[in-house]
Amino acid sequence: MSNLADTAGMASAQVTSGRWEGATIVVLEIGYTGNHSDRGTTQSVSDALKQYVGSTYTVKYHANGGNGSMDDQKFDMDSTVPLYGNRFTRTGYQFSGWNTKKDGSGTQYSDYNPIYNIANAGEVVDLYAQWTPNTYTVYFYSGGTGSGGGSSRSFTYDQAQNLPNPADVGISSINGTFTSWNTEYDGSGTSYQAGQSVKNLTADEYGSIYLYAQWKTTHTVHFRAYNATPEYFEDQRVADGDSATKPTDPVRPGFVFRGWTTGNSDDSSLYDFSTPVTEDVWLYALWDSYPYTIHYDANGGTGTMPDQNVASDPSVNTATLKSNEFNYNGRVFTGWNTKRDGTGTAYKENTSYAKLNITAANQIITLYAQWTTAKVKTIDAVTVKCAYSACYPVLPNEVKIHLSDGSTVVENVDWNKDQLDAIIDKGQSGLHLGDVFYIDSTSIVGFLNQRIRAKIVASDTIAPSLQGLDTVAARTNDTSFDTMYGINAIDDNDGDVTRNIKVSGNFDISKTGDYQLTYTVKDAAGNEATGNRTIHVTDDNIATITFNPNGGIGSMSPQTVTTDGSYQIFRSTKFTRVHYNLESWNTKADGSGKRYNAYGDWLENSDVPSNGKITLYAQWEHATYTVMFYPNLPNDSGIGIVNSQNIKYDEYEKLAGNTCMDPGYTFIGWNTEKDGSGTSYSDEQQVKNIYDKYGYSITLYAQWKANKYTVQFNANGGTGTMPSQTLTYDKNERLNRSTFKATAGKMITGWNTKADGTGTGYDYCAPVKNLLTSGSITLYAWYSPIRYSSISVQTPPKKPRIRQAKRSIRQDLWYLRYRTMAILCNYQGASTRFLSRT
């Protein structure tokens, strides 16, 4: 450095381009004070370096997992310039900036970030694109038979996540089994399983995917094993097409389990558990009872009785014990017992028992005759009451027999059926109160020589009718209130029996509350009726309602109700009006006043006049009768009612239109009789009051007319003409004789629906039926070579004769042909045989 220098400096740089590339340049700077321009350079170090070193640095962009390309970017030193905008893409990701490190751990820059001298001149800066995975939403809905849905789950691109079960997102199906998720409602898209690990269902940021639960219809299989253990099995839910699982066998004492069946009879076939289930199934246990033998022991008596073999039975393990055939001099048979001394299980003779303690097949049960030395002392009398208006005596099945030793036995008794039927028949026309009849017994089990007579008395068997049991209101401390207010009783025989009513239950008019009282009444015959009524004791105002029939008939007691705005149940109406129903109540007879519902309504103080009394007039509406329509199809008359219609009395209304069809028939109207012999009505006819004699309904049967159809005949190579023939559907009719002339050497042998004979064939002049349901059909003549083999005629009215004449062979053949066809077409039972074409 010069001693003359006032200041000095030095710098070095690497040359990056040009002819000096790679060289190291050292620049010495010496500064002087004053004007010393002649003492050396006045150039600055930076200016000196610019002669040898580049003044820029480079930014290189990397996709870092993305796709595409970007040019490098040159930056001048000491200049602020924004980075390029990102032009890379990456499926399923959003660009989030640049970083000097691939993993984002370096210096971060945003897109278009202005930068300034982030590197030295000549250096290269690597910037790596940074990516954020997209998030998208999967929505879950139910397809098919399911319900619920709308829940969603958030997914991140490139991150696997398990799909939920339907129940986890609020989706279920009553009659379906979940099979999969699908991108289409109808299952035609991509399927995924519940619990399946999935990712990248969509690449869109904030995209949406809809998955629909797919269901396989499920059916319920029910199991019933009545009288067994268990009786009821847990129902099985089986997907459509899958098979049910056979449960454990039920157990039933005395029976062997055979299997399960869908049938209702004991001979139904067993159910195959490999059968695909396509509908709900009810399975019932099938059983075979153990066969066993009953041996009868005289137990001291004399005589013999054969053993009783009880065969296996699929439904019951029942035996009807035999009547005693043993004798024991001086003693009376009293029954059977499983022990000789009578300490076992006792059974009656000629009685069915289902429980004989059978535990194994072919078991032998011994029953011992039981005897007593006692004689019959008395048999309890039998007296039966029956209604005098219509007598149907109900006779006991057993009678009580008192023996001389003080014991009592109860035995089955049979009654004279003819006597019973005679009383029932007579009772249809009405009996007089007190009429007496007798019915004799025909047998008493175990006492063959004993008889008893039952006394049948035509009696009053109908209890009185209690009326006015509807809830009523009473004011507290109203001592004038009577618990019988509005109550009466009417008997069909004794008339008004209100005086016989007895009231029971707690009631205190001084305390508010609801009191339920019981009303009991008997008529002179002792028939009793009982009913309850609630009395509402209140401090609120009450009103008395008087009910007016307003065109109806009958009577109703007044009713007291509260008027505090609460709902009041009105007294059950006793008014009636022919062809009308009670629609409501109204404060005006013409319905222009305030309306109240028929069975109850809210009552306010303002609704009631100052005197606390209000009259409600019945408001009537036309009642309806029912018209029932039966299809009455000619070929399926067993089909039941298919439609019904309610029509108001006294008003015109159009009948419902027919919706039934029967091939080959045309609907022509309705009739009150199946065979059309009743009253006829056209379809959709305006009708009024067409109910039957009972007044509540009418049944109309569809009437049908068989269609006519036309058969047209085609000579099909022959000559001549033949008129068409009209036939009737469902009627056997012969086709007309052909008037066509066949070609030489041939004769017509039948008809066909196709000219080439590939259609349906019909014999010549044969009876045909239902060629069409309507319209027309063409039959083509079908010919065969004339090769006569034989002709036979069975019991024709007259034996056909063929007159001999001089004719050619050809003429003879044609004559024979026409004579043969005449026999075939005109005589039932005639037959012809022709050799087929060879």
Contact 477, 539 (CB under 8 A): no
Cα gap 84→87, rounded to integer Å: 9
**Are 454 and 437 in the same domain?**
yes
pLDDT at 652: 94
**Are 672 and 724 in the same domain?**
no
CA nearest 47: which of 27, 74, 33? 27
**379: which 2 tokens?**
């048999």
**Are 509 and 603 in the same domain?**
yes
Summary count for the chain: helices (H), strands (E): 3, 63
**Are 473 and 601 in the same domain?**
yes
pLDDT at 28: 55
Contact 449, 468 (CB under 8 A): no
Cα gap 838→810, rounded to integer Å: 20
- Per residue in 521-577, pLDDT tens? 999 989 999 999 999 999 888 889 999 999 999 988 888 888 877 788 888 788 999
pLDDT at 505: 94
Residue where a domain stops, chosen among 706, 726, 754: 706
Contact 751, 722 (CB under 8 A): no
* 618: in domain: no
* 1: in domain: no
**362: which 2 tokens?**
């072919």
User: Judging by beta carbons within 10 Å of its beta carbon (0-12, 13-18, 19+), is residue 500 exposed, middle or buried?
Assistant: middle
Residue where a domain stops, chosen among 372, 404, 433: 372
**Are 284 and 242 in the same domain?**
yes
DSSP letters, 522-550, are: E-TT--EEEEEEEEEEESS-EEEEEEE-T
Provide the number of structural domains found in the chain.
9
Amino acid in position 357:
N
If you compute the radius of gyration of the chain from its CA atoms, what whole number of angstroms results? 54
* 498: in domain: yes
- Per residue in 689-719, pLDDT tens? 999 888 889 999 999 999 999 999 999 999 9
Residue where a domain stops, chosen among 459, 479, 509: 459
* 18: in domain: yes
pLDDT for 3 beyond 70: no
Contact 382, 398 (CB under 8 A): no
Contact 671, 701 (CB under 8 A): yes
pLDDT at 520: 97
Cα gap 759→154, rounded to integer Å: 67
Q: Rounded to 5 degrees, what are φ and ψ at 778? A: -105, 130
User: Judging by beta carbons within 10 Å of its beta carbon (0-12, 13-18, 19+), is residue 694 exposed, middle or buried?
Assistant: exposed
**Are 533 and 590 in the same domain?**
yes
pLDDT for 104 beyond 60: yes
Peptide bond into 549 cis (omega under 30): no
Lowest-pLDDT range of 353-357, 534-538, 616-620, 690-694:
353-357
pLDDT at 596: 93
Please count the other Cβ atoms lying within 10 Å of the Cβ belonging to residue 677.
9
**Are 247 and 126 in the same domain?**
no
With H, G, I as helix, E, B as strand and everything else as coil, classify residue 49.
Answer: helix
* 619: in domain: no
**254: which 2 tokens?**
């005395």
**Are 653 and 594 in the same domain?**
no
pLDDT band of residue 26 (cuts 50, 70, 90) is: low
Cα gap 661→474, rounded to integer Å: 65
User: Is the model more confident about 809 or about 704?
Assistant: 704
pLDDT at 811: 44
pLDDT at 202: 93
**Are 551 and 688 in the same domain?**
no
Cα gap 222→280, rounded to integer Å: 8
What is the residue range of 308's domain? 292-372
pTM: 0.42
Cα gap 582→451, rounded to integer Å: 58
User: Is the model more confident about 3 or about 793?
Assistant: 793
* 352: in domain: yes
**216: which 2 tokens?**
């396989």
**Are 473 and 598 in the same domain?**
yes
Cα gap 647→686, rounded to integer Å: 11
Give the CA distances from residue 566 to residues 103, 559, 569, 605, in Å, rounded to whole numbers and listed in that order: 78, 15, 10, 11
- Per residue in 783-806, pLDDT tens? 888 765 555 555 555 555 544 444
- Per residue in 366-386, pLDDT tens? 999 998 888 888 999 999 988
Contact 537, 508 (CB under 8 A): yes
CA nearest 569: which of 597, 546, 600, 596? 600
Please count the other Cβ atoms lying within 10 Å of the Cβ belonging to residue 188.
9
**Are 63 and 111 in the same domain?**
yes
Contact 354, 306 (CB under 8 A): no
318-338 per-residue burial string, b: 16 or more CB within 10 A, e: under 16: ebebbebebebeebbbbbbbb
With H, G, I as helix, E, B as strand and everything else as coil, classify residue 295.
Answer: strand
**Are 649 and 678 in the same domain?**
yes
Lowest-pLDDT range of 196-200, 264-268, 298-302, 338-342:
264-268
What dihedral do alpha carbons 575, 580, 586, 589 form, nearest 10°? -90
Torsion-angle region of 212 (φ positive above 0: left; ψ -120 to 50: alpha; else: beta): beta
Give the CA distances from residue 123 to residues 56, 71, 82, 185, in Å, rounded to whole numbers and listed in that order: 8, 16, 18, 59
The CATH code of the domain that includes 72 is 2.60.40.4270
381-398 average pLDDT score? 87
Share of the chain above pLDDT 90, in %: 51
Instruction: Please report the beta strands in 358-432, taking only residues with DSSP state E, as ranges in sequence order.
Output: 363-372, 376-379, 382-387, 398-403, 408-415
CA nearest 778: which of 836, 687, 715, 695? 715
Which H or E element spans position 311?
A: none
* 344: in domain: yes
pLDDT at 452: 92
* 2: in domain: no
